A and B are shown apart, each in its own frame.
Chain A
Amino acid sequence: MHSTIVRGQNVFGFFTTVCFVVAALIAASDLLAPRTPKATVAVKDLQVVRGRPHYYSTKKEEYAIIRFSLSADLSSLFSWNTKQVFVYVSASWPNSTLGDAGKGEMVNEAVIWDTIITNPSADHLQNIGPAAMKKLVRSTKGKTIDPSRGKLELKNQKAKYQITSPDGKLAETDNMVLKLHYNVQPWVGVLTWTPQIEFGSWKKVKGGISKAFKLPAIKAKKVVEKKSA
């Protein structure tokens, strides 16, 4: 029974076992790295305008245009098993139509801004132009982990996505808040999101929620046109 095939099978079997054990150890090592992110989010400017979802649509919807500032330190999320950190800011608000039943509960949530921060080990996977890639690779000088990328400083940042609601009404919505979230994508192992509870050395985000605010009424049409012109 000691034929070449059996030996080949044994070697392959042992190889895969070793691979999986090493992968499991790497994945488990995530738990040892403390996570202590902190952030402050603040609303800078609010506008509600009427517009169409796309060029050929006849439907008019109300869009919230939000400007915000974000100061975040997510550097503790970067370890040797971090492939990328997906950072996103969402706006959430309670339902107006539910009345008292859904009061206080943030039943609507929409991402208004996001960014992908790769660990230098994953830079080559980014979908960016050659010039930007060169700059990105050069910025870390051959390091494989660069926690300093986790420091974000945005001032008066315009939202990437203009949000609306399914019924097209959004003006004068009250109790809206902005929240910072993250999603850590590992090289191998478990994906993790902003924790709801503290887990070992993984702490909750310190801050990361803006004060509640109310969206203004729709801007007069003339003003909107002047702005876009």
Chain B
Amino acid sequence: MLSALQNPRQAAAQLLNFGLILSTAFMMWKGLSVISDSPSPIVVVLSGSMEPAFQRGDLLFLWNRNLMEETKVGEIVVYNVKGKDIPIVHRLVRKFGLGEEAKLLTKGDNNLADDTELYARGQDYIERKDIIGSVIAYIPFVGYVTILLSEHPWLKTVMLGLMGLVVVMQRE
């Protein structure tokens, strides 16, 4: 940091570079969001309820457009429940009706019972608008870093420290 004070031009360039990396990542994320029409086009699996298909830490790519056909039974969807902030990845097992008003029921492959218990009070079915995307592609394990970071907050401090160290060391 001392060297940065001595050479403000270099410091500014580095700051800009860092900003560029951040904004590129953000643009790519939002671009994917627009293409897939999903608020969260990539999700990390947090529970074992879809085992053996998905383990904790696996990365899923979502698609939320109905170009050729409607969302149908058998698809693995990610949905939100009112009053719960963590989206759930489960398989669609029942569908009654068509279009926006269709009543949908989900179930985890590894669960014995369907998801009626997970829904809000008095809610028996979810609707198309509760779904933020259907799983179309899969990469194993890559997302496990985010689980580690959220479960062990001290890792964040360690990572920030390491990154700071790298920045200071690079001035040599």
| A, B: real partners | yes
Interface residues of A (CB under 8 A from B): 3, 5-6, 23, 83-84, 86, 88, 90, 95, 102, 105, 107-111, 114, 116, 118, 122, 125-127, 161, 163, 165-166, 181, 183, 185-191, 193-194, 196
The 9 closest A-B pairs by CB, nearest first: A125-B52, A110-B94, A111-B93, A109-B73, A185-B53, A190-B137, A108-B96, A107-B98, A109-B95
Cβ–Cβ contact A110 & B136, under 8 A = no
The answer to whether residues A111 and B137 also contact, given A88-B74, A125-B51 and a CB cut-off of 8 A, is no
Complex contacts, B52 vs chain A, CB 8 Å: 83-84, 116, 118, 122, 125-127
| CB-contact partner of A193 in B51, B74, B110, under 8 A | B74
Q: Taking chain B's interface residues, is the majority helix, strand, or loop, or is none over half, making it mixed?
A: loop
Cβ–Cβ contact A166 & B125, under 8 A = yes
The answer to whether residues A163 and B97 also contact, given A5-B170, A111-B74 and a CB cut-off of 8 A, is no
The answer to whether residues A127 and B51 also contact, given A105-B98, A111-B94, A191-B135 and a CB cut-off of 8 A, is yes
Complex contacts, A185 vs chain B, CB 8 Å: 53, 138
Cβ–Cβ contact A111 & B73, under 8 A = yes
| CB-contact partner of A183 in B74, B96, B166, under 8 A | B74
User: Is B151 part of the contact surface with A, judged by Cβ < 8 Å?
Assistant: no
The answer to whether residues A191 and B76 also contact, given A23-B139, A196-B69 and a CB cut-off of 8 A, is yes
Within the complex, the shortest CB–CB distance from A208 to chain B, in Å, comes to 13
CA distance A168 to B169 in the complex (A): 70
Cβ–Cβ contact A188 & B97, under 8 A = no
Within the complex, the shortest CB–CB distance from A198 to chain B, in Å, comes to 15
Please provide the chain B residues from 13 to 60 with a CB less than 8 Å away from any CB of chain A in the complex. 51-53, 55
Within the complex, the shortest CB–CB distance from A181 to chain B, in Å, comes to 5
Cβ–Cβ contact A90 & B103, under 8 A = no
Cβ–Cβ contact A90 & B73, under 8 A = yes
Within the complex, the shortest CB–CB distance from B141 to chain A, in Å, comes to 10
Cβ–Cβ contact B74 & A3, under 8 A = no
Cβ–Cβ contact A84 & B96, under 8 A = no
Cβ–Cβ contact B72 & A109, under 8 A = yes
Cβ–Cβ contact A5 & B98, under 8 A = no
Cβ–Cβ contact A191 & B94, under 8 A = no
Complex contacts, A95 vs chain B, CB 8 Å: 97
| CB-contact partner of A191 in B98, B125, B136, under 8 A | B136
| CB-contact partner of B170 in A3, A166, A181, under 8 A | A3
Chain B: which residue is nearest A90 at the CB level? B73
CA distance A58 to B139 in the complex (A): 46
Chain B: which residue is nearest A20 at the CB level? B139
Contact with A along B65-95 (1 / 0, CB 8 A): 0001100111110000000000000010111
Other A-B contacts than A86-B91, A90-B74, A125-B52, 8 sampled, CB-CB below 8 A, are A3-B172, A102-B98, A107-B96, A107-B102, A109-B94, A118-B52, A181-B73, A186-B138
Complex contacts, B169 vs chain A, CB 8 Å: 3, 5
Q: Which of B53, B103, B125 has the most CB atoms of chain A within a 10 A radius of its CB?
A: B53
CA distance A186 to B61 in the complex (A): 13
Cβ–Cβ contact A5 & B93, under 8 A = no
Complex contacts, A125 vs chain B, CB 8 Å: 51-52, 55
Q: Which of B96, B140, B169 has the most CB atoms of chain A within a 10 A radius of its CB?
A: B96
| CB-contact partner of A83 in B53, B98, B102, B109, under 8 A | B53
Within the complex, the shortest CB–CB distance from B52 to chain A, in Å, comes to 4
Complex contacts, A166 vs chain B, CB 8 Å: 96, 103, 124-125
Complex contacts, A5 vs chain B, CB 8 Å: 166, 169-170
Chain A: which residue is nearest B68 at the CB level? A196
Chain A: which residue is nearest B52 at the CB level? A125
Q: Which of A86, A118, A126 has the most CB atoms of chain B within a 10 A radius of its CB?
A: A86
